[in-house]
Amino acid sequence: MYQRILVPLDGSEVSALALEHARALAQCFGSVVHLLQVVDQADEVDAPGVTDNPAASQYAQDLARRFLSPNLAEARDYLSEAAAPLLAAGIRVEFTVGEGSPAEKIVEYAQQRNVDLIVMGTRGRGGIQRLVMGSVTARVLRASGLPVLVVPPPGMNQPCNGRHPVLVVHISQISVMYQFAPSLSYSHPDLSG
């Protein structure tokens, strides 16, 4: 059912939990796991008003590249480490480092690689923080048109018997189910192909 699973990683605890779920699914379905980390240039250089001045804009871009170079290398190393346990378990893995807006790059990657499922964490932001900052996960849900397995942070909505609830949302038909990790043996009729 899920031949190509995309797992966007950002180094957080919740993205590591998402990777655990992807691993279980990949073992069940014999899937290829695609690991993606996006380095957001906007996070590296914050220079308000620079875009009005071409010389200053060029300087800011050069500065961003200088900051990005080590971050890209760190991201590659991080993905290589994240891939190691999957490879040791016999799971096929591809990993890529992207640059730009995380939500846009995740959706673009998923479309280019014909991904069947995106497995990602959410930090559980709410209220004004989410309104102001937005949510990468929410933007991916809206823009991808793919099934997205959303893994909440530990402690959010109190885990059931030590297992973390996972919400599966398929935008095209809005089917929702709760699954409790690590057991992924439950088969929901809407999701079993």
**140 domain residue, yes or no:** yes
Residue 118 lies in a domain: yes
25 in any annotated domain: yes
* CA distance linking residue 140 with residue 83, whole number of Å: 23
Question: Is residue 75 domain-resident?
Answer: no
Query: If the chain, 193 residues long, is cut into consecutive pieces of 10 residues, what is the mean pLDDT of each piece?
Result: 94 90 94 94 51 68 61 90 96 94 94 95 59 70 89 66 52 39 40 42
What range defines the domain where residue 143 resides?
A: 4-40+85-180
141 domain residue, yes or no: yes
Q: What is the pTM of this model?
A: 0.71
Q: Does residue 68 fall inside a structural domain?
A: no
Sheet strands (E) in the chain? 4-8, 32-39, 92-99, 117-121, 147-151, 165-170, 175-180
**Position 52 in a domain:** no
Q: How many structural domains compose the chain?
A: 1
The SS3 call for residue 2 is coil
74 domain-assigned? no
Q: What CATH code is carried by the domain that includes residue 175?
A: 3.40.50.620
